[in-house]
Structure formats: C-alpha cells, structure tokens
Amino acid sequence: MKKNPKDKKGKEGKALKDIIPSNYQHIREPNEIIPPTEIQKDFTPQNYPNDLFEEWPSDETDINTFQQPLLENPEEIFSDPQKDKIFVPDSFYNDFLSNEIKWSRPSYYITEIKLEEAIKRNMPKKSSYKFREKVHEKYNEELNLRKMKIEEKVEEQENSENSEGDDVFGLNKKEEKSLYKEYFKILDTPLNITVVKFIEREENDDEYQERIQKESEYIENFKKEKKKDPKLEPMITEVNKEKIKILDASPSNIYMKEGYPLYFRWLASIFQIIKEKNILDVNTNQMIWQKIYPQEHGVPIYNPKGKYWVKLYHLGKLRKIEIDDTMPTNKRDKFYLPKCESLEEIWPSILTKALLKLYSYKIVSCSFHECGDYEPFYALTGYIPESINLKKDLIYLKCLMEMKLKKRKELKKKKRKI
C-alpha cells in the first residue's frame, strides 16, 4: 500500500518570499537592455598608433617614381622622427649596464663587430670593450699624424713605442704594435654595405621571350588607353630586343651562434626558416628581403641617406613602415639584433627594426610574449599561423605505436602456432 506524502510528519519551513531578499531580481526578469547610441566600427587594439603606419600604395608600377621620396636629397642623412616611439623587449636590457639605447649606423656597428671579433681572437681572456677604446684612441692619434705628415714626429713616436716595458694588457710593445696594425687595417678598410647580396647575370632565353611578350602587350594596351586619355605618358615606347642584365639575390644565412636576447633569437629563427623553406608572400610571391625599398631590378639596394620603407602585413592590410638604418646597441656598442654571416648584409636588422616599430604598442603592454609570438611570421608572409598542441600529438603518436606493437605481437603468435 502506497503511503500518502501528506501523511509524512516534518518541520514546517518558512515561505519562499520570506527567505529571498526583497532586492533580488529573478532570472526570468532580466534588466532592460539599452542599445548603444553609436556602433563601434574600428576594432584596432589599444595604444595602436594609427598615424604612424599608412596603407601601402596599391599602384607601384613605375618603381622609380614610386620610391623617389626615399632617394631625395642623398647628401642629407635621414633620421626617423618617430624613433622615440620604438620600444625594445625587456630581454634586450639584460646585458645592459643601464637602460640606455645608443643608435648607430651600419658603417659604425659593423666595424665594431669586426674589431671585437679580432680582439677576442687574439686576446680571448681580455676585456674587448676596454681594448677597443684604447684602439680607437691610438687610431685617432694615427689619423692626426697622417694629417700632419711630419716625419720627425712619426719617428719619435716609433722610438718611444719600441721602448721596454709592458702595458696594462700584459703585452710587450712589439706585440702591441703588430696588433694595432691589424686593428688599424680593419678601421681603414672601407665597408661594402648591401641590403642583400646579389649576382648579376644575363637573362636566359625563356626570360627574354617572356619579357618581350610583356612589353609588347603593355605597348598595345597603352595605345588603347591613350585614345581614352591623351595625357597619359608611356613607361616604355618600344620593345628592347637586346638581352638585359638581371640581378639575382643570394642572401647569406642568419648568424645563429650569437647569444641573442630572447625576442631577437625568436626573430632570427623565423628569418632563417622563411629563407630555408623559400616561403613566399601569399599575395605577391616575393621573398622577405624584397619587402625592403628602395629597389633596383627587384632587389633592395643600400641607401646612403639611410631611409627605407618596409612593406608588412598588419590588421589585414599591407602597411608602409618608414625607418632609418640606425640600430639599437648598448652603451658598450654591443649589437644584439639578428645579423647575417656576411656582416655587410643588413636585411635582417632592417626587417627587425620595422617589426619593432610595428609592434611597439604590444611590447609596452604586460601581455607581450617574446617567444612564441607568431605575428612577425604573418607580417612578413601574409600567412596566418596555426599553433599545435604538441602534448596531444605526442599522446596520439604513443597510442598509435602501442597499437602497432600489439598487432606485431599478435602476428608473431599466429606464425608460431602455424
């Protein structure tokens, strides 16, 4: 026989209205939604400097006219007016004596790198910075003597240098003199600075036919457009039937033995992977060094004025990043940015500085991760990277291996039975 629930004896509770607070709002009675007066259209990140990076011009057919602002007034050295807005990651300051940045041009910091390598090779246990200072002092004295061109003073100095005694670096005067000659040679040798190394060659038959076809098509199309707009001026008036010279870029590898700071180590590995795998731009089929302007025959060239444009992807659009060629070093002239094995190639440092300028708004924020930031890969190639959880993949591979081992054991048992 079923018991009636009303027959159960129990304590009587309080009413629900007495338990629930008076200011409580029931979940079925939501607050009134007030629509916004203005709809937000711009979703750019906070602190993003919109005024710095304009969109890359869509029309760059006449490359000489397009890059003319870069090459104007070559006698005046360009200095980026927005350099104070470029920030470097925290790992950059780990080897600093202070939080000061010294900006140096390629002709200076490349010479300092070569001089430091020579000093470390000859005197590995000595302080290269202190000796570099002394080398520069002696070199300035040497330059003054060369200007004066007085033989008697030169002879007097040579006699004083050949005197007995050791200097503070533990070298006798003869050894010191031979070393100074080697270091003076480094300081005297002019640098052949290039953005990227290239080989000059004559175009082959296929390239020749392709170029003639493009030029003839252009002339025909121009004649049709000229009828519509008589003010148009042609880039070429006739087909050049002679074989022309072509510049092929042959960049050297990134120097990976250097103890770069964390973020620059990460960028150096990205540059080397893109170079080795020959990853081209998703839209233009260009290599990463072809994003640097000014160019000649599709190859970036060194600008004595020190002004460059770098074409990078950001927020779904190509942006024009304008920089100068001065690079950050510490107060001891230590160069930390990625560099090539051939020191006189400067394309890695130009790309690195452009990326620093582009992502400075992120670097100053607390959420910036130096290692594992894939946005530089997108900025250089246009490809959107995908992160993969390696732990899950390892578990999956482990399961596959276990299944294969079980199948092998089962097959062995069957063979034995047979």
Confidence at residue 54, expressed as pLDDT on a 0 to 100 scale: 85
For residues 313, 316, 318, 322, the Cα torsion angle rounded to the nearest 10 degrees is -60
Average pLDDT score, the chain = 77
Which pair of tokens denotes residue 94?
A: 């780990």
Confidence at residue 95, expressed as pLDDT on a 0 to 100 scale: 57
Q: How far apart are CA 259 and CA 263, in angstroms?
A: 11
Q: What amino acid occupies position 251? A: P
Among 101-115, 238-252, 385-399, the least confident range:
385-399
The angle formed by the CA atoms of residues 108, 333 and 114, to the nearest 5 degrees, is 55
Q: How far apart are CA 196 and CA 344, in angstroms?
A: 9
Neighbours of 212 (CB within 10 A): 13
As a whole number, mean pLDDT of residues 400-418 equals 78
pLDDT band for position 256 (50/70/90)? confident
Instruction: Please give the tally of structural domains in the chain.
Output: 3
Q: Quick check: 264 pLDDT over 80? A: yes
Question: Is 287 found in the same domain as 374?
Answer: yes
Question: Is 288 found in the same domain as 354?
Answer: yes
Question: Is 355 found in the same domain as 295?
Answer: yes
412 occurs within a structural domain: no
Question: Is 183 found in the same domain as 71?
Answer: no
Q: How far apart are CA 350 and CA 241, in angstroms?
A: 37
Q: Quick check: 5 pLDDT over 70? A: no
Specify which of 231-240, 275-284, 399-408 reaches the highest per-range mean pLDDT.
Answer: 275-284
271 occurs within a structural domain: yes
135 or 293: which carries more pLDDT confidence?
A: 293
pLDDT, one tens digit per residue, over 133-146 is: 888 888 777 777 77
3 occurs within a structural domain: no
Of 146, 162, 188, which residue constitutes the final position of a domain? 188
Question: Is 142 found in the same domain as 212?
Answer: no
Confidence at residue 164, expressed as pLDDT on a 0 to 100 scale: 45
Question: Is 208 found in the same domain as 140?
Answer: no
Confidence at residue 291, expressed as pLDDT on a 0 to 100 scale: 93
Question: Is 238 found in the same domain as 258?
Answer: no
Question: Is 132 found in the same domain as 168?
Answer: yes
401 occurs within a structural domain: no
Q: Quick check: 354 pLDDT over 90? A: yes
25 occurs within a structural domain: no
Among 21-35, 159-173, 301-315, the least confident range:
159-173
As a whole number, mean pLDDT of residues 193-199 equals 89
Confidence at residue 42, expressed as pLDDT on a 0 to 100 scale: 45
As a whole number, mean pLDDT of residues 375-385 equals 90
Confidence at residue 23, expressed as pLDDT on a 0 to 100 scale: 63
Q: Quick check: 151 pLDDT over 60? A: no
Question: Is 374 found in the same domain as 269?
Answer: yes
In terms of residue numbers, what domain contains 365? 54-80+254-381
Question: Is 175 found in the same domain as 120?
Answer: yes
Among 49-53, 205-209, 241-245, 269-273, the least confident range:
49-53
Question: Is 236 found in the same domain as 172?
Answer: no
Which pair of tokens denotes residue 74?
A: 């070559």
62 occurs within a structural domain: yes
Confidence at residue 321, expressed as pLDDT on a 0 to 100 scale: 92
pLDDT, one tens digit per residue, over 71-115 is: 877 668 888 888 878 888 877 776 555 567 888 899 999 988 888
Confidence at residue 48, expressed as pLDDT on a 0 to 100 scale: 55
198 occurs within a structural domain: no
Q: Quick check: 247 pLDDT over 70? A: yes
Question: Is 208 found in the same domain as 303?
Answer: no
196 or 128: which carries more pLDDT confidence?
A: 196
pLDDT, one tens digit per residue, over 15-51 is: 766 666 666 555 555 556 565 555 444 444 555 555 5
pLDDT, one tens digit per residue, over 117-127 is: 888 887 776 66
Confidence at residue 168, expressed as pLDDT on a 0 to 100 scale: 44
CA 270: distance to chain centroid? Answer: 9
286 occurs within a structural domain: yes
pLDDT band for position 415 (50/70/90)? confident
In 3-state terms, the chain is what percent helix, strand and coil (to 5)?
A: 45, 10, 45
